[in-house]
Amino acid sequence: LWHCSHEGGVLEDPASPPPADLFVLTADPSHAPNVAEEVTIRFDAGVPVAVDGVPEGPVRLIEHLNALAGRHGVGRADVVED
């Protein structure tokens, strides 16, 4: 729900980029829409409760925002550990 991470195998070689199919939650930023998408998130007592005026439970709200951000390549990271 919050993230997807991978390690080992081809990722152990810093000279090799990660395989494109490894990123299952985010679009490649070079293939993401070239137009911004605006959303409005409503909070009640600091807790997000609606997206664009549509009330959603916590799990559905996170899934909705993950899908929206993922379409735009938001949330992608490539980290090398030592």
Q: Cβ(55)–Cβ(49) under 8 Å?
A: yes
The reported pLDDT for the residue numbered 66 is 94
Q: Provide the whole-model pTM.
A: 0.79
The CA–CA distances, whole Å, from 52 to 64, 68, 72 equal 11, 12, 18
43-54: per-residue pLDDT in tens? 999 999 999 999
Q: What tens digit of pLDDT does each residue of 13-60 get?
A: 888 888 988 898 999 999 999 999 999 999 999 999 999 999 999 999
Domain boundaries, the chain: 37-77
| Three-state secondary structure call for residue 73 | coil
Residues 73 and 26: beta-carbon distance below 8 Å: yes
> Contact at 8 Å (CB) between 25 and 66?
yes
